[in-house]
Amino acid sequence: MALPAWLALGAALLMGGGLALVRRSGAKSAMGRRLAGARQVRVGDVVGLGPAGPLPARPVRVNGRVRCGDPIITPDDDRLVALHRDVEVSTSRGWRSIERLRETRSFELWGQDGSLSIDPADAAEPLVTLPHVWSGAPQDLDASYEAALSRVAAEDGAPQLARSITRMISVVDRLLVLAEVQRDREGAARLVPPSGGYILSALELDDAMRLLGGRRPRLLLAGSAAVAVSVLLLVAAALLTVVALLNR
């Protein structure tokens, strides 16, 4: 096998290994790049766009506060506009989901110069907020999960562990929202979800980037380095192929 082919094969294997490491790190790299790469604007900057003025060509990062007249009220009296909860149990065949709750309320993202409507049902996942994580015995789950636990036990045997991850956005949060700007029928600027959905962050940008970097940053670094080296190997293979063709 010629050298360029060996380089290309090595690059492909290295890239596959690098991407696997990035996934294992828990990082949401694409989401982080989209959020960090957008221009930040205020609510008033969007509201103030005139009917004839140009709109941003790319999604923008809008910061503002939440206003909602009909929030979700939890048993702990939290007032929320988004509640995402995933509950899983460990079985002989791996982790199985027994609940995937997605509850939302439309709200206004507001600032001193106006407000913009947001429907968090159109949000990308995960919500960029500090998750509430619980793990323990399946018997520690409340009675509402009994039917699901019985079904899992009948199919895969009695589960040994349970875990839940809950992400919430509250009416007291200050948000960063990645969104596209379009015009409604009357010509007023409004926010719409970009491809993949709104990115909703209840954290400042630096904190959001750390969270999206995953729980295992060394794996992310190693995976990113492997992908970068694989790209260089592919370029080298292409150049050698071109040189070989020119020398024929």
**Position 120 pLDDT exceeds 90:** yes
Q: Compute the average pLDDT of residues 70-84.
A: 96
What are the extents of the domains in the chain? 1-27+214-248, 40-212
Nearest by Cα to 227 from 4, 20, 3, 7: 20
Would you state the pLDDT for residue 21? Answer: 53
**pTM above 0.85?**
no
What mean pLDDT, rounded, does the chain reach? 86
Q: What pLDDT does residue 50 have?
A: 77
Does the pLDDT of residue 6 top 70, yes or no?
A: no
Higher pLDDT, 13 or 114: 114
